[in-house]
Amino acid sequence: MKAKIIWVLLVVYGSVFTQKALPIDQTRVHDPVMIKQGNTYYVFCTGRGISVFSSTDLKTWTEEKQVFETAPTWVNEGNVPGFKNHIWAPDISFHNGQYYLYYSCSAFAKNTSAIGVATNKTLDPKSSDFKWTDHGIVVQSVPNRDLWNAIDPNLSIDENGNPWLVFGSFWDGMKMVKLNKELTAVEKPEQWITVARRQRSFELPDADPGDAAIEAPFLYKKGDYYYLFVSWDFCCRGEKSTYKVVVGRSKTMAGPFFDKDGKDLFQGGGSLVIEGNKNWAGVGHNSAYTIDGKDYFVFHAYDSNDKGIPKLKIKEIKWENGWPTVEPMN
């Protein structure tokens, strides 16, 4: 059984460096985030050492060299026992004249986890300035100490110019913590906020998170509102995955965030943005951006017609009465 689970994880998350251009419907990714430098789009995603893809048209993608050839040194110093350089759910953004890449190192289904950050002056691997510099742990969760999980990071800057890291998976919900000006550590004194959670039904056994399954928070500023996207239910099960994306909004980054019906995301609220169908399962773990005047919704979906392989999806966001909408899966 353990061998089968490991094989499934390799299929879902694994990535082999090929430098081969593929159409988007053949581009295998999990937990994608995107950014544009010059004329090139870059997608970073879960994979060995963090997988990277590049494109000039959003239609054809070429796999680039992974960020880390070996696991960051801090990971195996007792922080995440048994970690094998399979890095999850990165986040990419540009601040202070350089690119910040946050990433997750974890033990599957446990909150033995930590979020690290690396920086680079450029994303162009052909540039003489191209070099990833790792800055170590930003946030760490420890079993039997923390009721939250330090994975799925997303950096955002609030209305006053303060940097915050929103993150989390299952447990007691999505957390937000203020960072220092260097964006490499938690600011002192520490400021923590819970921005979204789902109440777990009491009748469920302890080992079953059930209807409390929530993760992959992503904050996106548009107009007067901050929009908080989260993924509900389960990923990582191929065509049996049940991921879907919901959203709430607030006029301040710290929330509270409310859905279309006025329900607080802290109380389990969330308005549906997109979900799977018979062809695509586990639609979720999204990111959102405005690039060159267009609003993009970037996510993965498991192809039910291709062995449940997770593939890159990019849709344009449309707006209805101040709420984000995307075309349903076809």
**Domain locations in the chain as residue ranges:** 2-325
pLDDT of 14 strictly over 50: no
pLDDT of residue 200: 66
pLDDT digits (tens, 9 = 90+) for 90-134: 999 999 999 999 999 887 667 778 999 999 999 999 999 999 999
Return the active site residues. 31, 215
Confidence of residue 8 (pLDDT cuts 50, 70, 90): very low
**Identity at 210, one-letter amino acid code:** G
Q: Quick one: 2-325 is in which CATH superfamily? A: Glycosyl hydrolase domain; family 43 (2.115.10.20)
pLDDT of 173 strictly over 50: yes
Tokens representing residue 253 in the block: 């980054």
In terms of pTM, does the model score above 0.85? yes
pLDDT of residue 18: 56
